[in-house]
Amino acid sequence: MLDNYFPILVFVAVGLVFGCVPILLGWLIGPNNPNSEKLSAFECGFAPFEDARMKFDVRYYLIAILFILFDLEIAFLFPWASIFKEIVNTEAVKMFGFVEMFVFLGILIVGYAYAWAKGALDWD
Q: What is the pLDDT of residues 38-64, one digit of tens each?
A: 777 666 666 666 666 777 777 778 778
For residue 75, CA distances in Å to 22, 54, 78, 104 come to: 33, 34, 6, 12
Question: In which element (H, E) is residue 11 found?
Answer: helix 2-29
Region for 17 from its dihedrals, namely left if φ exceeds 0, alpha if ψ lies in -120 to 50, beta otherwise: alpha
CA distance 42 to 52: 11
> Which runs of consecutive H residues, i.e. helices, occur in 30-93?
36-39, 58-82, 84-89
CA distance 101 to 77: 8
Instruction: Pick 102 or 11 by higher pLDDT.
Output: 11
Closest CA to 122 of 73, 64, 67, 63: 63
CA distance 25 to 110: 53
Q: What's the pTM value of the predicted model, to 2 decimals?
A: 0.47
Model confidence pLDDT, tens digit, residues 95-114: 888 888 889 889 888 988 88
